[in-house]
């Protein structure tokens, strides 16, 4: 399999040795889903160029054969991920951008929202009653809207799409007494799949969620619950919301399309010594990373 690039964007000799040194015995893999494991349209069998491929499927098999425990970590709803995990043969996942930790194929659900007050309601309902969604939709009319249909039937996060400055939005939330919430950019989405009418230079998906929630805090909580040391944990992602995982794992792989979709990530990556950018995009990049973590024989037909 081709060698990935280092976080600096420079080809790194002996990368396989470096990976083995940083994570000699990987036990848990925290993986983003859309744009990372899955290709265009959420298809496992399409690469970034819409060509058919079996490499991601072979990589999933390699994880099973090497007993590498894969946890899907996504902004998707809990029940959406249940279907994905069942098909892939995974037992555990982290839903709604880190708000829910789900174990044993849905038998156990643990919320990860810190001390955010819900008063007996769902997290989603509590956020709605705070007035924060209405505030953002009014303040950024024409720049934000609900990300339908993916924003429907949520238990925790309010999902919007549009194009805004996240730091500016979070400062507004603080000024309005809503500092217990934050808006997180979960990556670029494509107009062709949305049928939206927003007249913006590009479209991103955003999650409004409790401030103490997130992918990083969820991974940290899972490692504590299941006693997984940092040096045995790896993550793979494709967005700014995945970069925070670098502090919770031995290695964070970013698939190549991460930089194509967000040019600001290149500067942020330079600050992280354990981030590796794959040469290939989406599912092929995912398979590339798995090739460094498992035996090459698992990829042989």
Q: Tell me: the pLDDT tens digits for 117-129? A: 999 999 999 999 9
CA distance 107 to 10: 44
Residues 6+ apart with CB under 8 A from 266: 9, 259
Q: Are 259 and 280 in contact (CB under 8 A)?
A: no
Average pLDDT value over all residues in the chain: 90
Model pLDDT, residue 241: 78
Q: Rounded to an integer, what distance in angstroms lies between the CA atom of residue 71 and that of residue 69?
A: 7
Place of tokens 């040795």: 17
Per-residue confidence (pLDDT) for residue 196, from 0 to 100: 64
Answer whether residue 297 shows pLDDT above 70: no
Please classify residue 47 by burial: count the beta carbons closer than 10 Å to its beta carbon, then call 0-12 exposed, 13-18 middle and 19+ buried.
buried
Q: Give the pLDDT score at 76.
A: 95
pLDDT of 10 above 90: no
**pLDDT on residue 298:** 55
Asked if residue 92 lies in contact with residue 103, where contact means CB atoms within 8 angstroms, the answer is: yes
- Confidence at 191, pLDDT banded by 50, 70, 90: low
Is residue 239 very low, low, confident or very high in pLDDT (cuts 50, 70, 90)?
A: confident
Question: Taking 50 as the threshold, does the pLDDT of residue 11 lie above it?
Answer: no
C-alpha 15/C-alpha 251 separation (Å) is: 12
* Sign of the dihedral through C-alpha 282, 219, 167, 118: positive
Q: What is the DSSP string of 89-107?
A: T---EEEGGGTEEEEGGGT
| pLDDT beyond 70 at 192 | no
pLDDT above 70 covers a percentage of the chain that reads: 91
**What's the mean pLDDT in 82-88?**
95
pLDDT tier at 108 (50, 70, 90 boundaries)? very high
**Residue with the larger pLDDT of the pair 1 and 291:** 291
> Which tens digit of pLDDT belongs to each residue from 206-227?
999 999 999 999 999 999 999 9
- pLDDT band of residue 9 (cuts 50, 70, 90) is very low
Q: What is the pLDDT of residue 8?
A: 34
Structure confidence at residue 7 as a pLDDT band (50, 70, 90):
very low
- What confidence category does residue 12 fall into, taking pLDDT thresholds of 50, 70 and 90? very low
127-160 per-residue burial string, b: 16 or more CB within 10 A, e: under 16: bbebebbeebbeebeebbbebeebbeebbbbbbb
Structure tokens at 192: 């062709």
% of the chain exceeding 90 in pLDDT = 77
The model's pLDDT over 15-34, given as tens digits with 9 standing for 90+, comes to: 888 898 899 999 999 999 99
CA dihedral 89, 112, 159, 86 (to 10 degrees): 10
Say what the pTM is: 0.89
According to the model, what pLDDT value does residue 80 have? 93
| pLDDT tens by residue, 135-186 | 999 999 999 999 999 999 999 999 999 999 999 999 999 999 999 999 999 8
CA 166 to chain centroid: 17
């Amino acid at each position: 399999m081709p060698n990935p690039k280092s976080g600096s964007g420079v080809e790194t000799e002996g990368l396989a040795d470096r990976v083995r040194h940083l994570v000699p015995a990987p036990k848990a893999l925290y993986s983003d889903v859309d744009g990372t494991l899955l290709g265009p349209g959420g298809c496992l069998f399409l690469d970034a160029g819409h060509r058919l491929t079996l490499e991601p499927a072979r990589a999933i098999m390699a994880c099973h054969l090497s007993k590498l425990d894969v946890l899907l970590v996504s902004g998707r709803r809990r029940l959406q991920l249940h279907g994905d995990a069942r098909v892939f043969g995974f037992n555990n996942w982290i839903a709604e951008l880190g708000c829910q930790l789900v174990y044993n194929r849905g038998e156990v659900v643990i919320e990860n929202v810190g001390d955010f007050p819900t008063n007996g309601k769902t997290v989603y309902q509590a956020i709605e009653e705070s007035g924060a969604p209405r505030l953002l939709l009014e303040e950024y009319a024409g720049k934000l809207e609900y990300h339908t249909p993916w924003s429907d039937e949520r238990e925790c996060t309010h999902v919007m799409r549009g194009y805004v400055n996240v730091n500016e939005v979070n400062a507004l939330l603080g000024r309005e007494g809503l500092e217990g919430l934050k808006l997180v950019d979960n990556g670029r989405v494509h107009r062709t799949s949305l049928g939206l009418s927003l007249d913006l230079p590009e479209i991103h998906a955003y999650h409004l969620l409790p401030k103490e929630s997130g992918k990083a805090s969820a991974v940290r909580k899972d490692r504590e619950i299941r006693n997984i040391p940092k040096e045995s944990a790896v993550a793979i992602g494709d967005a700014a919301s995945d970069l925070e995982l670098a502090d919770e794992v031995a290695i964070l792989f970013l698939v190549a399309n991460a930089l194509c979709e967000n040019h600001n990530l290149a500067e942020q990556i330079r600050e992280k010594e354990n981030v590796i950018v794959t040469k290939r995009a989406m599912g092929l990049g995912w398979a590339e990373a798995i090739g460094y973590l498992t035996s090459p024989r698992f990829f042989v037909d």
